Amino acid sequence: MKRKSLYWILGSLLIAGTAAGYTYFYRGQSNAVQYRTARVERGSLSSQVAANGTVNPVITVLVGSQVSGTIQNLYADYNSPVKKGQLIAQIDPATFQAQVSQTAAKVQNASASILNAEADIGTARANLDVSKANVVKAKVAVADTRRNLDRNMELFSKNLIAASDKDAAQTAHDSALAQLQAAQAQQGAAESQIESSKAGLASARAALKQVEAELEITQLNLNHTRITAPVNGTVISRNVDVGQTVAASLQAPTLFTIAQDLTDMQVEANVSEADIGRISEGQETTFSVDAYPQNIFRGRITEIRNAPITVQNVVSYIVVIRVKNPEMKLRPGMTANASILVAQRDEILKIPNAALRFRPEFAKRENVTVQKNSAVTPSPRTTSPATRNPERLLTELNLTPDQREAVSRIFKETRTQIEAAGGDQEKIRKIRQESRSQIRALLTEEQQKKYDQTARRAEERQAPVPIYKVWVPIPQQQPVAIEITTGISDGVFTEVLSGDLKEGQEIIVAAVGSNTNNTKNSPSPGLPGLGRRR
């Protein structure tokens, strides 16, 4: 009985061991990590900046009123095409017409005052002439009485005439002198009267100019009751109705809004401060509007406004995108969802962004071997425009033969100086800055803009490029990490600048299997464009 029990115990242990081994083997197989892979592709890639904005006419004119009054008639309505100078509204002119008539009467009164002043001057001049004649006559009388007095004095001294005769001659002379003084006084009064009349005439003329100016103002106010279109265009807004009173005491009220040309529109897009550094004039842009979600409209950036717009501590800038609207589909005020093309690469290696986010769990616990069969080197595009082959720059800027010769000489001298710098980055930076200044001095204003854009793009490419790891599956082994540097991203794919990756090579993008909880897809910090679709 004891031996039989021993056999039962040994058999049970053998069965339990077999079951445990079977369970361990097959569960281990089911827990093995499997990976989903993607291939390294070659193709085109573009990086875009997303922005929202509003569609507006390029030129919008607000038509107001400079005078207050009641709208008597309207001659334009919504969507009405108008020509420059066309009457579009009429304010009741009765009050202003009465003011014109009143001021015109004042002008006539002032004109009559001028005529009276001129007549007074004529009278004063006639009196002056009479006074001058009286003075001459008085002088003759004084001279005659003086001679008679002298003769009588001589005869009286010889006792030839009586004293009464001498006294009579003296009296006649004194009387003539008094008459001369009176005549001279009258002449002075006549001259004063002339000056006074001239002052009155000047005053009357000044009064005439004043009332004439008042007449011009009242006539201008009367003319302003006729509201005319300042430009050729289309009325997109009407803010008044017949019978409505407009008050222009503080500011001109807006009666109409006129778009000069609806076939030429612009989008005023808000670009965040994080993206504005990648925006420049001339960049191509596509956008859509909610009214035509299937249509893609194309434009070009013409202006980047420096005025910041801050909303809830978020800073953005207005970017103006010009677009043609021949079919009149775009209407003022539409919301545009724009994508601004900031970089375009053709025939480059690209990988899914998921491969950059993937990191196996064992890589955190173990020392992972990184494959470095080839050095991770910067992209050839990171060379400065002051040291690269000048032929591309010469072609882009369309230089004259003299400019080409001078720029080529600057390139040659710059390369020599950089080689002599011995790798001193600070010296190299200063050499390149001096080279760019010399080149800019040779260019026209239009060429300088193109050159600045080229230099700015080169500087962006020269910025330090972070190194990332992607994982390559190895049969029956753990994945191997390969270091790469990356370029632009469109939110789905990322450009590979350097690293030991080849077109068509398999790379891991995710882990699948029963223990995928032990493997995490963690975002790679610092990689622009990952985690959001532009």
SS (H, E, C) 306-333: EEEEEECCEEEEEEEEEEECCCCCCCCC
Same domain, 212 and 111: yes
Cα 52 from chain centroid?
Answer: 18
- Pairing assessment for the beta strands 254-259 and 233-238 based on DSSP bridges: antiparallel
Would you put residue 339 in left (φ > 0), alpha (ψ -120 to 50) or beta?
Answer: beta
Residues 236 and 335 in one domain: no
- Same domain, yes or no: 179 and 165: yes
Residues 136 and 173 in one domain: yes
57's CB contacts (< 8 A; 6+ apart) are 236, 259, 260, 261, 262, 264, 265, 266, 332
- Say yes or no: 388 and 416 in one domain: yes
CA distance 441 to 158: 115
CA distance 94 to 69: 10
The pLDDT assigned to 10 comes to 62
Characterize the bridge pairing of strands 370-371 and 358-359: unpaired
Same domain, yes or no, for 77 and 177? no
- Integer CA distances (angstroms), 51 to 47, 170, 281, in order: 13, 116, 15
pLDDT of residue 386: 40
Give a three-class secondary structure readout of 447-472: HHHHHHHHHHHHHHHHCCCCEEEEEE
Count CA atoms within 13 Å of residue 365 on its CB side: 6
For 375-397, write each residue's pLDDT tens digit.
Answer: 344 433 334 444 444 556 666 77
Q: Tell me: the pLDDT tens digits for 17-73?
A: 665 554 444 444 445 678 889 999 999 998 889 999 999 999 999 999 989 999 999
E-state strands within 392-466: none
Q: Is residue 167 assigned to a domain? A: yes
520 strand-pairing partners: 359
Last residue in a domain, options 461, 491, 520 = 461
Same domain, yes or no, for 454 and 407?
yes
Cβ–Cβ under 8 Å, residues 298 and 285: yes
Query: In this predicted structure, what is the pLDDT of residue 297?
Result: 95
> Which 8-state DSSP code applies to residue 523?
P
Q: For residue 247, which phi and psi values (nearest 5 degrees)?
A: -115, 120
> Left, alpha or beta for 201 (phi > 0: left; psi -120 to 50: alpha)?
alpha
- State how many domains the chain has: 4
Residues 105 and 211 in one domain: yes
Question: 505 CB contacts (<8 Å, ≥6 apart)?
Answer: 39, 40, 472
Residue 252 per-residue DSSP state: P
Q: Which CATH number is 252's domain given?
A: 2.40.50.100
Residues 252 and 270 in one domain: no
SS3 64: strand
Which CATH number belongs to the domain containing residue 130 in this structure? 1.10.287.620
Q: What local confidence, expressed as pLDDT, does residue 41 receive? A: 92
3-class state of residue 304 by DSSP:
strand
Whether 292 and 200 share a structural domain: no
Position 113 in a domain: yes
Q: pTM for this structure?
A: 0.57
pLDDT, position 16: 62
Q: Does some domain include residue 273?
A: yes
Q: Of 461, 491, 523, at which residue does a domain stop?
A: 461
Domain contains 199? yes
**216, 323: one domain:** no
15 belongs to a structural domain:
no
Query: In degrees rounded to 5, what are phi and psi of residue 189?
Result: -65, -40
What share of residues in the chain are helix, strand, coil (percent, to 5)?
45, 30, 25
Q: Cα separation of 20 and 333, whole Å?
A: 73
Rounded Cα distance, 163 and 34, in Å: 165
Tell me which of 438, 461, 484 is where a domain ends. Answer: 461
Same domain? 244 vs 275: no
Under DSSP, the state recorded for 275 is T
Strand partners, 82: 233
Do the domain assignments include residue 37? no
Phi, psi (deg, nearest 5) at residue 55: -80, 130
> Does residue 124 sit within a domain?
yes
- Which residues of the chain have a pLDDT value below 50? 1, 22-30, 369-370, 372-389, 514-534
- Does residue 69 come out as left (phi exceeding 0), alpha (psi in the -120 to 50 range) or beta? left
Structural domain of residue 86, as residue ranges? 71-92+225-257
Q: Residue 423 falls within a domain, yes or no? A: yes
Summarised one tens digit per residue, pLDDT across range 306-334 is: 999 999 888 999 999 999 999 999 999 99
